[in-house]
Amino acid sequence: MRIHHLNCGTMAFGLVDHCLLVETRTELVLVDTGYGLGCVREPGKMLGASRFVMGPKLTEKETAIWQIQALGYDPRDVRHVILTHLDLDHSGGLSDFPEATVHVHGPEFRAATATPTLSERLRYRAAQWAHGPKWMVNEVEGAQEWFGFTAVRDLPGLPPEILVVPLAGHTRGHAGVAIDSGNGWLLHAGDSFMLESSIDPESPNTPLWLRMYEQGAIVRDAYRENQRRLRELRRLHGHQISVVNSHDAALFHGMTAR
């Protein structure tokens, strides 16, 4: 499988919105959507007041649909979207792919579509899925082991080389997406960490300002524990697995330079 790394939303503080476009044998799979055309054209509706905090540039050229077309593909060939979670900067382009099946982890789907807490109401924007996506909710029942993590392998319509790895903490149902490219594994860990230095297996370091930001994690203990587990994953299996996240610009550019 071929994996393209897309920045679908440059934000304040030099952050990016790192999404993946995966070419399987028969179709395209998108991991997160970043900010979509609706966010650019109707930011008040699609993003609300949070756009002033996150400071996205909101240009059509950074949307996933525009970049997919620029690569020479038909966006209608995106048959599946896998979400790490439903925060507004990760699901803002869902309406650009109305025919795609949208895979989301069960606890996340319920957190975003039931009765969210005050904190969750600030991060989820129902307008982003008001078009009625073709939801496919995955659960941990029957999950298998993947390098010491639980993994959901039964994703209908997707090849067995693509897995969902539950990483609750940042949100109640946050998950990573693992892909066996044929040349090693790639784990997109979403917002499980913000800077690569936080999961350095030898000398982890999280700047004070970032530790303060991370206090916004919905399940803080799980968030910290997942970072410990990701450090251990890199220490033991770094030769087999590359770990990326959603917002570290240096990590994103390092992957695109390969």
Whole-angstrom CA distances from 251 to 18, 155, 194, 202 are: 9, 27, 10, 17
pLDDT of 116 over the 90 cut: no
Reduced to 3 states, what is the DSSP secondary structure of residue 41?
helix
The mean of the pLDDT values for the chain is 94
Which pTM was predicted? 0.96
Backbone φ and ψ of 213, nearest 5°: -60, -40
Higher pLDDT, 41 or 121: 41
- Tokens describing residue 58: 């909101």
* Weakest mean pLDDT among 38-47, 208-217, 248-257: 208-217
Which tens digit of pLDDT belongs to each residue from 65-79?
999 999 999 999 999
pLDDT at 132 over 80: yes
Structurally, how many domains does the chain consist of?
1
- Band (pLDDT 50/70/90 cuts) for residue 115 is low
**If you count DSSP H runs as helices and E runs as strands, how many of each does the chain have, helices first?**
9, 12
Q: Are 150 and 143 in contact (CB under 8 A)?
A: yes
Asked if residue 145 has pLDDT above 90, the reply is yes
Q: What pLDDT is stored for residue 11 in this prediction? A: 95
The arithmetic mean of pLDDT across residues 231-251, rounded, is: 97
What per-residue confidence (pLDDT) applies to 198?
97
Per-residue tokens: 6: 């897309």
SS3 70: helix
Q: 36 versus 52: which is more confidently predicted?
A: 36
- Of 9-23, 105-119, 144-158, which gets the smallest average pLDDT? 105-119
Tokens found for residue 88: 């507004």
**Residue 98: its pLDDT value, please?**
97
C-alpha span between 68 and 74 (Å, rounded): 7
Instruction: Please determine, for residue 106, whether its predicted confidence score (pLDDT) is greater than 80.
Output: yes
The CA-based angle 215-233-224, given to 5 degrees, is: 15
pLDDT, average across residues 191-209: 95
CATH number, position 90: 3.60.15.10
Q: What is the C-alpha separation between 170 and 179, in angstroms, rounded?
A: 21
pLDDT given at position 121: 78
Q: What is the pLDDT of residue 120?
A: 79
Helix (H) or strand (E) segment spanning residue 195? none
- Distance CA(54)–CA(77), nearest Å, equals 31
DSSP-assigned beta bridge partners for residue 186: 179, 242
Domain that holds residue 196: 2-256
Q: What are φ and ψ of residue 167, in 5° steps? A: -140, 60
